[in-house]
Amino acid sequence: MVSKSFSVTGLGACGEVGRSAFILDFGEKFLLDYGVKLNIEEVEYPLEVNEHVKAAVISHAHLDHSGLLPYFYKDSNCLSFMTQATLDLADILWKDSIKIAEFEGVAPKYTRAEIERTRKHNFIVPYNKKFSLGNDSSLEFFDAGHILGSALCKFTHKDKTFLYTGDYKVDETQLHAGCDLNVGKVDYLMVESTYGDREQANRKLEEKAFCESVQSTVERGGWAIVPVLAIGRSQEVIDILSKYNIDAPIYFDGMAKQVSEIYFRYPELLKDSKGLKKALNSVEWIMGKQGRNRALKNPGVVVSTSGMMHGGPVMHYVRKIINDPRSKIHLTSYQAEGTPGRELLEKGLLLDENAGTVVKAGCRYEKFDFSAHPSQSELIKSIKKWNPKEIFMVHGDKKVMDVFSKSIYSATGVKATRLETGKRTYFG
């Protein structure tokens, strides 16, 4: 038997969505992403990095991919690679994580000084520029179309190539044109699987249904509350509401505001930066308590973090309308298992983590499907284009991967492998 020269070890995000972290041994050893998983009760971490790595490579800023990097830099001196937009966005999220931990009275996993240390070890990698890593190895990023700065990460060692998708989106969204599928030859692929078992609602129809629901909520005298992820979804939702000319006051609250400032810095990474800027400038940015009280005086639309209702200013508004049958909570993103958003959708219960209460929701609620992840057909389209000889599935529930692997096999004849946490999988 020929011995296999490469390996990948899952430290998290194996059969689950959250805490993405992998060690890739591909000529050199690399840490791919180092994220956290936010559950109802606690934050879950990936396994520790117990081997020496040449570099850390971060696919994008979402906390489930970048959230623990400053902890890694407590005692690591290697370089990290990410896009400038990823670094700018992650920096906001890291600092916010410390604030949240302090607010909750728990010890933060890292300090502000360690965030600075992380920044100092960073090397910015733009899209479409091959960067040599020594030892016949190189790294190249391609636009992943998922959020601002998100990258498909391609490693080359001698004549072999390995592509890690991070999170990506093939089709265009309101903000992004879809990922860059032209990444050249791919021998080995590690692919996210979030929606590997299903198709998504038609985006245009979903946008229309969402805006009609928002408008009718305000017309019947209620508040349309829209919990959003700070990065990407919040900007996208404002852009969609503006496109449909919603006739109601729109309030924008939470960390999403700070993130939007960063979106303004990278117009070249957006489909229509002028349109987005106009939309964001046409809504009222809430500053402080007075603004929040004003937003709750007359029916209107509130777009605020956090997207899965893990605290954040959105909960201030949710508490006020939870028993109002005219009002409606419009969830707009994937709701991970164990999050308050998922509990609301599945059981009609509002878990208020800060107040420590659980109440039956008297308001309306519905989830709208604005995914920034590929549907099954988008996944298969990209896999067929890349045509790898080995495939590793990560970042998805186990049941989803069972369905996804079957569809990969029938489309390509390749038997995809589900990585397991703590286990080294050899290939090559």
Q: Which residues bind Zn ion (CB under 5 A)?
A: 62, 64, 167
Q: Are 421 and 47 contacting, i.e. CB atoms less than 8 angstroms apart? A: yes
Which segments within 237-388 are labelled E, that is strand? 250-253, 284-285, 301-304, 328-331, 349-352, 357-360, 364-367
CB nearer Zn ion, residue 35 or residue 299: 35
Alpha carbon distance, N-terminus to C-terminus of the chain: 12
Count the alpha carbons within 13 Å of 89 in the hemisphere toward its beta carbon.
30
CB of 285 to Zn ion, least distance (A): 24
CB of 161 to Zn ion, least distance (A): 23
> Is residue 264 helix, strand or coil?
helix
CB nearer Zn ion, residue 90 or residue 276: 90
CB of 383 to Zn ion, least distance (A): 18
CB of 65 to Zn ion, least distance (A): 6
**CA distances in angstroms from 172 to 219, 306, 370, listed in the order given:** 31, 24, 11
DSSP-assigned letter for residue 110? S
CB nearer Zn ion, residue 109 or residue 169: 169
Spatial separation of the C-alpha atoms in residues 33 and 414, rounded to whole Å: 25
CB nearer Zn ion, residue 167 or residue 378: 167
CB nearer Zn ion, residue 33 or residue 390: 33
**CA distances in angstroms from 151 to 127, 139, 180, 206, 350, listed in the order given:** 8, 11, 9, 26, 35
Spatial separation of the C-alpha atoms in residues 216 and 227, rounded to whole Å: 18
Residues 6+ apart with CB under 8 A from 279: 238, 239, 241, 242, 243
The C-alpha angle 145, 137, 167, rounded to 5 degrees, equals 20
CB atoms within 10 A of CB 18: 23
CB of 62 to Zn ion, least distance (A): 4
CB of 313 to Zn ion, least distance (A): 22
CB nearer Zn ion, residue 317 or residue 392: 392
CB of 144 to Zn ion, least distance (A): 9
In the chain, DSSP finds a helix count (H) and a strand count (E) of 13, 24
CB nearer Zn ion, residue 330 or residue 395: 395
CB nearer Zn ion, residue 62 or residue 328: 62
CB of 61 to Zn ion, least distance (A): 8
